[in-house]
A and B are shown apart, each in its own frame.
Chain A
Amino acid sequence: MISCTEFIMAYSELFAFLEERHGKDALIRFWEGLSDEFLHNLRELVAEKGLAGMHEYWSHTLTEEGGEHAMTLADEEFRIEMHRCPSVAVLRRSRHLKPYADYCEHCTVLYRRVIEPFGFKCETIIHDPVEGRCTLRVTPLPENAGGG
């Protein structure tokens, strides 16, 4: 069994494997499929509770995964300021492994695909992929603003 504590390394290896052997398009198709088939929990929370559902989802997952972050929920915005991404921290600690170069890109594909169909704009800004610093910012599209 590959332990869930070792998963991030196996995940990074899967990204590299897919790109090296089948191209970047194959990797993006994998991320899109993962988003569609795996993130039901997030999708249901966003459908039911909108921005508050995102806050609920990441409150749970980031508590389990660890890391250092600040999460804010306002009427018209949900934001995560990631100061030390727990996944990137695992890869940094794993000195025997060469991390997949665009590792952080998967979050952009996975989460945008779940969130934006519900009438939100989902932006991810990678400040420092080596240190694991990024911003996830979700706001209602203009036609949906004002409803919380």
Chain B
Amino acid sequence: MANVHKDFHGCLSYGLKFLAENYGPAEVEAYLRRVARNVYSPLIESLRERGLPALRDHWNNIMSLEGAEFDLHSANDDVLVLEVRRCPAVHHMRERGYEVWDQFCESTRIVNDEICRRAGYSSSTEYDQQNGRCVQRFRKEAGR
């Protein structure tokens, strides 16, 4: 089982804030897209090969390990919805007194977007950072 050290969320939040304040939002986005391509390359490959069940397994594993309150559901084979009612990252940082960078949840939107685009899928992320909630939708692109 993976080791779960949630303070790392605070470290990532600081890193994103550092990039934004020193080099601007375009550099934050460039970094996060690089993370999506390099760190998540096995997930991109799996999404291409297995489709949305690959993403379902990924999120189920991650959210369970981190102790999130969440639901995963599908309207049909081409759509997957992840509803996070209690984000483990945002809540942990708040509980431990770490600063949550004010655009922290954008990291989810950008990383999801890059992973999905590379695998022939699209994504949308609606978030409420203040309350640590979000809804992420993943959809197979037409014709892929």
CB within 8 Å of B: which residues of A? 1-11, 13-14, 17-18, 21-22, 26, 29-30, 33-34, 37-38, 40, 61, 64-66, 86, 94, 96-97
B134 to A, closest residue via Cβ:
A1
The answer to whether B12 and A38 touch across the interface, beta carbons within 8 angstroms, is no
A30-B18, A38-B10 in contact; A1/B62 too (CB < 8 A)?
yes
The interface residues of chain B lying within 8 Å CB-to-CB of A10 are 12, 35, 39
A21-B27, A26-B22 in contact; A1/B87 too (CB < 8 A)?
yes
Q: Among B14, B31, B111, point to the contact of A38 (Cβ < 8 A).
A: B14
* Nearest-Cβ distance from residue B35 to partner chain A, whole angstroms: 5
The answer to whether B38 and A66 touch across the interface, beta carbons within 8 angstroms, is no
Decide if the interface of chain B is mainly helix, strand, loop or mixed: helix
The interface residues of chain A lying within 8 Å CB-to-CB of B22 are 22, 26, 29
Q: Among A8, A14, A40, A64, point to the contact of B15 (Cβ < 8 A).
A: A14
A1-B87, A1-B89, A34-B15 in contact; A6/B39 too (CB < 8 A)?
yes
Q: Among B12, B30, B98, B111, point to the contact of A7 (Cβ < 8 A).
A: B12
The answer to whether B7 and A11 touch across the interface, beta carbons within 8 angstroms, is no
A4-B8, A64-B3 in contact; A13/B108 too (CB < 8 A)?
no
The answer to whether B31 and A2 touch across the interface, beta carbons within 8 angstroms, is no
Can you report 21 A-B residue pairs in the complex whose CB atoms are below 8 A from each other?
Answer: A1-B107, A2-B111, A4-B4, A5-B2, A5-B62, A6-B39, A6-B62, A9-B35, A10-B35, A13-B39, A14-B31, A17-B31, A22-B23, A29-B22, A33-B18, A34-B14, A34-B15, A40-B97, A61-B5, A64-B3, A97-B39
Q: A2, A6, A97 — which one has the most chain B CB atoms within 10 A of its CB?
A: A2
The interface residues of chain A lying within 8 Å CB-to-CB of B66 are 3-5
Q: Does B50 contact A (CB under 8 A)?
A: no
Decide if the interface of chain A is mainly helix, strand, loop or mixed: helix
The interface residues of chain B lying within 8 Å CB-to-CB of A21 are 23, 27, 30
The interface residues of chain A lying within 8 Å CB-to-CB of B107 are 1-2
Given contacts A2-B35, A37-B14, A61-B7, 14 further A-B pairs with CB under 8 A are A1-B108, A2-B39, A2-B108, A4-B7, A8-B8, A9-B39, A11-B11, A11-B12, A14-B15, A22-B22, A34-B14, A37-B99, A38-B14, A86-B3
